[in-house]
Chain A
């Protein structure tokens, strides 16, 4: 980071649609690369954020909310990266999903828990807020 160790924030707003998830991943790659993470850890962060955005996109499709958005907010401090993924994709209430959809989502959730150090999911009626934290130099 250019300015010593002072905290920094990077924020991105994308449409909650499949073709924009790659944009979120690119930004996370850029952000995580500026921190003291190993190559593998940077990849972990990219994948975890990609998975969280994918889940948002899938719920937006299910809830027919094509105009919803994802706010991706990263906070960079010397010892950790905190990423909030906040969508307006509607409620995540299950209604007779196909088992395939469920499997895919479980896999996404599993990946996230394996890739980051902390994960918190706050579902709301209008959308979901996911917070993930990755500490520097944990492994």
Chain B
């Protein structure tokens, strides 16, 4: 068991799976995230949300897994969205330029509001 990492998948009010992560997402724990995304894709998910609110460390392995998920979802006209209010974690996306590729929101609420505007 790893006390530095937890993963729990819930469903949003719009029935979109949200993978909630806690702790350190790195070379040791990112494979679990990858596995979970693959299994959601196999179940037919076209949209997946990854909630990084409680993540305190994220490395290139985690970024690689998220990019892989985004690629596969975009291939089927889907999308991967991120919830990331933590400035330190957001900085990793910013310095690598990945903040321009991912849909990053500060909260689930903000994400729903943005989605509502798009469909309106």
Contacts and interface: CB of A to CB of B under 8 A. Distances in A.
Interface of A: 18-19, 21-22, 25, 40, 43, 46-47, 50-51, 54, 57-58, 100, 103-105, 107-108, 110-111, 114-115
Interface stretch (B10-18, B24-32, B45-53, B74-82): B24-32
Contacts of A104: 60-61, 63-64
A107 B28 contact: no
B43 interface: no
B96 interface: yes
Nearest to B30: A18
B61 A22 contact: no
Contacts of B67: 103
Contacts of B96: 107, 110-111, 114
Given A43-B88, A100-B64, A100-B68, A51 B28 contact: no
Contacts of A108: 59-61
Contact of A54 (B26, B88, B91, B92): B26
A107 B64 contact: yes
B4 A51 contact: no
Give the 7 A-B residue pairs with the shortest CB-CB distance, closest first. A104-B64, A18-B28, A108-B60, A107-B60, A54-B27, A18-B27, A19-B28
B94 to A, nearest CB: 10
B60 A54 contact: yes
Contacts of B24: 22
Interface in B77-102: 88, 91-92, 95-96
B28 A21 contact: yes
A36 to B, nearest CB: 20
Contacts of A58: 27
Given A18-B28, A21-B28, A51 B60 contact: yes
Given A47-B92, A103-B67, A111 B60 contact: yes
B26 A111 contact: no
A112 to B, nearest CB: 9
Given A104-B64, A111-B92, A111-B95, A47 B27 contact: no
A29 to B, nearest CB: 10
A33 B27 CA distance: 24
Given A43-B88, A50-B59, 13 more contacts: A19-B28, A22-B24, A22-B26, A50-B57, A51-B59, A51-B60, A54-B27, A54-B61, A100-B68, A107-B96, A108-B59, A111-B96, A114-B95
